[in-house]
Structure 1
Amino acid sequence: MDHGPSVHGGVGSHEMGGAVSLVETWGAVVFIGWAVVMWAAVVVLAFANRGPVRPWLFRTAVVLIGLGVIGQVGHFQEHVAQAGYWVANPYAPAWMTPWGDGLARGMGQVDPAKPALGMEILHLTGNFVFLAGLVGIVQITRRATGHLKSRKWGRMGVWMQGLHGLEHVVLTVSVALGASRAVGLSTWFGAIDPGPALVTYRVWWHFVANLIGTAILAVAVYHLWRERRAVRAGYEEGREGDGGGPGRPARGGAAPGAVWVRGGAPVSSPSGR
């Protein structure tokens, strides 16, 4: 979400004119909290999925994916709106929706002396909400055996969005450290002078990146829905897997005649004596 020139004269700068409203402040707090909660869930799922199945694991992953999808719908519409505004006004400063502008103003309070910082933090937060949702797809398919298209597309999305997220880390850190303009691939590392050329390059760079990422997410969710029974089966306790135990990620075969019990350890069956 790139904004018009400010005192720094760079694309993506955000003018903190006037007092920031309480709604803008709380909106920024809620959105950042949204991202923090999602990444806390990612960490919990990553560790919990190493052990035996728990009833809440599947539901938590579903909620994580849902929040990621909702967040990316809002994020992508901002880029669509910006691209549409550019088509109508190719030589004008970049534009933000009123709600995007309000969130950027709220986040910009962290350092009002850096007008572009709020917008960069907003962009960084939105991209990491998106990334957490993609990680959720990888996590929810972790216990399922066999080849899953949803897992393949989810991993593809994590790699693609991970690189995009890294770009936003660099952009945000450069502004936070006092750079006169954001430094990153989408600004050609600060080599493009402020003006229509920089606005055009950055607006379309991020639009295309989000278009590709959103398409990958849509395909992953589509396949996840089609493969939902196989994914859900991996969370059913008491299911005899191919060596992964009841709801455990597959790790190798058990001895002949062995069955898996709730604790996850193989024991000999009566018929195997």
Structure 2
Amino acid sequence: MTMPMATTSGWDVAGAVLLVLWALAMWAAVAVLAYAARGPVRPWVYRGSAAVIGLGVLGQLGHVQEHIAQAGYWLGHPNSPAWMTPWGTGLANGLQLALPGRPTFGMELLHLTGNFIFLAGLAGVMVITRHAVRTRARRWARMGVWMQGLHGLEHLVLTLSVAFGSRAVGLSTFFGLVGPGPGLTTYRVWWHFVANVVGSVVFGLALYHLWRERREVRATFVVRTVPEITRRAA
């Protein structure tokens, strides 16, 4: 997959920096929330997890539309290089400045960042359902974390291989054994399209069940007073 290079504007750089900060902030929040959820009931963990989930939904909407647009472009131009939306190209150009001597690094880093924002949203569902282990929301979220975790690992390998001066190496590139061309472009575009659409459906099902089971999940964050606990025990 080639990345169109153009003059990088200040908006491109600002957007790229904000996107990376978004991902880092989400994972910092996930770490804090997951640690806090291991101790006594803390109602703020519920609110924080809900915020992380919301940001994950927002990020994945932007992420999956990029892959839908790429697949749509391929349908009309199957023999052309892979295409990116103008906003995707701008963000990739901004990220490219981190390693200007490594063509396509910005594009790889963009997709890596998008996938880790998505994964953080799924992790948020796992945190919010930590004490509601029998809910369907948690089962779907666990499936999503495994699927998206493997997908994120694929993007990490792709990004690192380009960063170290190699071709993009991964399952979606035949491990770098196939040269650039329509065949590789077709395979990679549809590989990531399917992975993102399936992952989005799983995330959507986790959110659907989380909404249906919201009272059960919310109840696990209610702090009961000592007299109430004693009265129930009696």
Could you tell me whether the CA contact under 8 Å between 2:70 and 2:83 is conserved in 1?
A: yes
Match of 1:14 in 2: 3
In the alignment, the residues of structure 1 paired with residue 57 and residue 4 of structure 2 have an alpha-carbon distance, to the nearest angstrom, of 30
In the alignment, the residues of structure 2 paired with residue 17 and residue 135 of structure 1 have an alpha-carbon distance, to the nearest angstrom, of 36
State the superposition RMSD in angstroms.
1.8
Q: How does 1:149-168 map to 2 (within 5 A)?
A: 149-168=136-155
Could you tell me whether the CA contact under 8 Å between 2:4 and 2:89 is conserved in 1?
A: no
Q: How does 1:114-153 map to 2 (within 5 A)?
A: 114-144=102-132, 147-153=134-140
Which is higher, the Rg of structure 1 or of structure 2?
1
Query: What are the Cα deviations for residues 43-71 of structure 1, in whole angstroms up to 9, with x where unaligned?
Result: 00111001112231110000000000110
Q: How does 1:66-105 map to 2 (within 5 A)?
A: 66-105=54-93
Match of 2:200 in 1: 214
In 2 relative to 1, CA 150–239 (structure 1 residues): closer, same or farther, beyond 3 Å? Answer: farther
In the alignment, the residues of structure 2 paired with residue 194 and residue 129 of structure 1 have an alpha-carbon distance, to the nearest angstrom, of 29
Query: What are the Cα deviations for residues 204-262 of structure 1, in whole angstroms up to 9, with x where unaligned?
Result: 0000000110000010000000000000000000079xxxxxxxxxxxxxxxxxx85xx
Stretches of structure 2 lacking an aligned partner (at least 5 in a row) = none
Structure in which a larger fraction of residues adopt helix: 2
Cα drift, residue 15 of structure 1: 4.1
Query: What are the Cα deviations for residues 172-218 of structure 1, in whole angstroms up to 9, with x where unaligned?
Result: 00000000x20000000011121000100000000000011000001
SS at match of 1:136: helix
> Runs of 4 or more off by more than 2 Å in structure 1?
13-18
Could you tell me whether the CA contact under 8 Å between 1:90 and 1:200 is conserved in 2?
A: yes
Answering whether residue 191 of structure 2 is matched by residue 176 of structure 1, we say no
In the alignment, the residues of structure 2 paired with residue 14 and residue 85 of structure 1 have an alpha-carbon distance, to the nearest angstrom, of 15
AA at the equivalent of 1:206 = H
In the alignment, the residues of structure 2 paired with residue 34 and residue 239 of structure 1 have an alpha-carbon distance, to the nearest angstrom, of 37
Cα drift, residue 144 of structure 1: 2.3
SS at match of 1:205: helix
- Report the count of equivalent residues: 233
Query: What are the Cα deviations for residues 137-195 of structure 1, in whole angstroms up to 9, with x where unaligned?
Result: 011011226x200000000000000000000000000000000x200000000111210
Match of 1:59 in 2: 47
Percent identity of the aligned residues?
Answer: 59
Higher mean C-alpha deviation, range 231-240 or range 199-208: 231-240
- What TM-score do the two structures reach when normalised by structure 2? 0.95
Q: 1:225 aligns with which of 203, 206, 211?
A: 211
SS at match of 1:110: coil
